[in-house]
Amino acid sequence: MPTGTRARDPHTSGSHAVRRERQPRARGWRSVVLALLVAVLVAGLVRAFVADVYWIGSDSMQPTVEPGDRVLVTRLRGGAEPERGDLVVFDGRGSFAPLHSEDPWPVRALHTVGRWTGLAGSDSVYLKRVIGTPGDTVACCGPSGHLVVNGQELAEDYLLAGDRPSEVEFTAVVPEGRLWLMGDHRSVSVDSRSLLGAPGGGLVRADKVIGEPVAVLWPLDRAGQL
């Protein structure tokens, strides 16, 4: 054997080759996992501060929104206050929904997954229309059968055809920081009228508003701006 030349062990050489192959694969998987984590984080931030998608499971807002619609909701920014006639998505805990869910944690976890993926709705988030804002007096009903706000009858062309503005007679004065909310399908909607005898008198805190529905994203045949 010539001086200065060392024989190669084929087994040793092969093991180095295996290690060299495994290292890039391990780095590749780490990159994929990191990219997924970043994507989830960005999606979470967007949904928390910019916009979110909500699945509608109720017919209380027909014909504006149909059951099964997936609605894009933009977050209210800069302390914006909802105005009369606006659509709003709001957290109903403490008013429309119980403060705490009675479901066991596995069921709550499934609801959370369904809500996150847009395959299910939330049992504490609602979509309604603003009828009364702070300082308004809302009453049912005027001489023509319409709702009356501050002495003026409302022309509500968004109501479901054949529905009356309200089957329930009421008068509500909206204080500062509260809203009077109603559905467009009045005969089936559970809204501020249903809570007249409850604490708060059916009035929802304005700071419970999550955002404004701006468009139907799905199904495609109904997709469009609200």
pLDDT tens digits, one per residue of 5-53: 455 554 445 555 545 555 566 677 777 666 666 665 655 555 555 578 8
What is the C-alpha separation between 146 and 61, in angstroms, rounded?
Answer: 18
Residue 192 DSSP code: G
DSSP lists the bridge partners of residue 137 as 173
Please give the backbone phi and psi of residue 217, each rounded to the nearest 5 degrees, phi first.
-95, -30
Spatial separation of the C-alpha atoms in residues 138 and 147, rounded to whole Å: 7
pLDDT at 73: 93
Percent of the chain with pLDDT over 70: 65
pLDDT reported for residue 76: 72
Helix, strand or coil, per DSSP, at residue 184: coil
- Is 41 within 8 Å of 139 (Cβ atoms)? no
Q: What is the per-residue pLDDT for 221?
A: 95
H or E element, residue 129: strand 125-132
> For residue 1, what pLDDT band results from cuts at 50, 70 and 90?
very low
- Distance, first Cα to last Cα, the chain: 86
Name the more confident of 156 and 40: 156
Is residue 51 classed as helix, strand or coil in its secondary structure? Answer: strand
The token duo for 93 is: 């805990």
Report the topology of domain 51-225: Umud Fragment, subunit A (2.10.109)
Model confidence over 45-82: pLDDT tens digits? 555 555 788 999 999 999 999 999 999 999 876 567 89
What does the pLDDT look like over 84-142, one tens digit per residue?
999 999 998 888 865 344 444 444 444 444 444 444 446 789 999 999 999 999 999 99
pLDDT category of residue 192 using cuts at 50, 70 and 90: very high
CA distance 60 to 193: 13
Contacts of 68 (CB under 8 A, 6+ apart): 55, 56, 57, 219
Q: Are 150 and 157 in contact (CB under 8 A)?
A: no
Q: Quick one: pLDDT at residue 199?
A: 74
CB atoms within 10 A of CB 10: 8
User: Distance between CA atoms of 78 and 91, rounded to whole angstroms?
Assistant: 19
Bridge-based pairing state of the strands 51-55 and 148-149: unpaired
pTM score above 0.75: no
Question: What are the residue ranges spanned by the domains of the chain?
Answer: 8-49, 51-225
Partner residues linked to 181 by β-bridges: 130
Helix (H) or strand (E) run with residue 45 in it: helix 10-49
Q: Which residues contact 10 (CB under 8 A, 6 or more apart)?
A: none
pLDDT of residue 126: 93
**Worst-scoring range by mean pLDDT, 11-15, 147-151, 206-210, 221-225?**
11-15
> Per mean pLDDT, which range of 73-77, 86-90, 160-164, 181-185 is the poorest?
73-77
Read off the DSSP letter of residue 81. Answer: P
